Chain A
């Protein structure tokens, strides 16, 4: 069964450093999402992406965040200058167009900012 993959599974970075989280959505999916989950808290929407542009973003998704689909398969989330409060699990999700409601989630990347 096709699945969403994410790399790395765990990343440790120092405050102020840039990080790039990578996702490979399911190949025939057209809508892509990033969510985050601070430890012990609920999953929060960050951004959705369709047709090579952002469809919607939350108030969390400020100028420090950016998303990109550099090629036909990868979908990346960049945090330019990490803060301690960016420490969280980051989930990528995707959904195919039309006739589906299930967002397929990747296994997540645990980001630890020290």
Chain B
């Protein structure tokens, strides 16, 4: 079974600072994917970034990067130069690697609040 742990229920960060949201995972699958989704107060789930377990480099998407440490089973999300619009719930999830169609297993989320 797959398990995602997010230990930070809430974080407050000053605007323009970088922020790291923690995520650890557990799985017996040899290959897997790690995902981050953003959920603003309006409720929709917005895909941010993906990391495959066999990817050699950490994933980056604009201001988002994923600090993937396979030996530690961690997949932290780093947001550089935070903006007020980054205030939201952030969910880490585990799912299939590329070409897979299995379900996503989500963590409990971190509520990020950006302070002006």
A binds B: yes
What size tier do the contact residues of chain A reach?
20 to 34
Kindly supply a per-residue 1/0 record for chain B positions 60-84, scoring 1 wherever the CB is within 8 Å of any chain A CB and 0 otherwise: 0000000000000000000000000
On chain A, the residues within 8 Å of B96 by CB distance are 101
On chain B, the residues within 8 Å of A50 by CB distance are 101
Q: Which of B35, B47, B50, B98 contacts A99 (CB 8 A)?
A: B98
Chain A residues numbered 79-103 whose CB sits less than 8 Å from any CB in chain B: 89, 91, 93, 95, 97-103
Interface residues of B (CB under 8 A from A): 33, 35, 37, 43-47, 50, 52, 91, 93, 95-109
In whole angstroms, how far apart are the Cα atoms of A80 and B48 in the complex?
35
18 A-B contacts (beta carbon < 8 Å): A42-B91, A42-B106, A42-B108, A43-B104, A43-B106, A44-B106, A45-B105, A58-B103, A95-B101, A97-B101, A98-B99, A99-B99, A101-B50, A102-B47, A105-B44, A105-B45, A106-B44, A108-B44
Q: A102-B47, A108-B44 are in contact. Are A31 and B101 (CB under 8 A)?
A: yes
Instruction: Verify if A33 is at the interface (C-beta below 8 Å from B).
Output: yes
Main SS at interface, chain A: strand
User: Looking across the interface, which residue of chain B has its beta carbon closest to that of A43?
Assistant: B106
In whole angstroms, how far apart are the Cα atoms of A56 and B106 in the complex?
16
Main SS at interface, chain B: loop
In whole angstroms, how far apart are the Cα atoms of A97 and B101 in the complex?
8
Interface residues of A (CB under 8 A from B): 31, 33, 35, 41-45, 48, 50, 55-56, 58, 89, 91, 93, 95, 97-108, 110
Is there contact, CB below 8 Å, between A45 and B43? no
Is there contact, CB below 8 Å, between A45 and B44? no
On chain B, the residues within 8 Å of A100 by CB distance are 98-99
Is there contact, CB below 8 Å, between A108 and B106? no
User: Looking across the interface, which residue of chain A has its beta carbon closest to that of B50?
Assistant: A101
Is there contact, CB below 8 Å, between A101 and B95? yes
Interface centre among B37, B43, B50, B107 (most CB of A within 10 A): B43
On chain B, the residues within 8 Å of A58 by CB distance are 103
Q: A33-B103, A48-B102, A48-B103 are in contact. Are A89 and B97 (CB under 8 A)?
A: no
Is there contact, CB below 8 Å, between B97 and A45? no
In whole angstroms, how far apart are the Cα atoms of A33 and B102 in the complex?
9
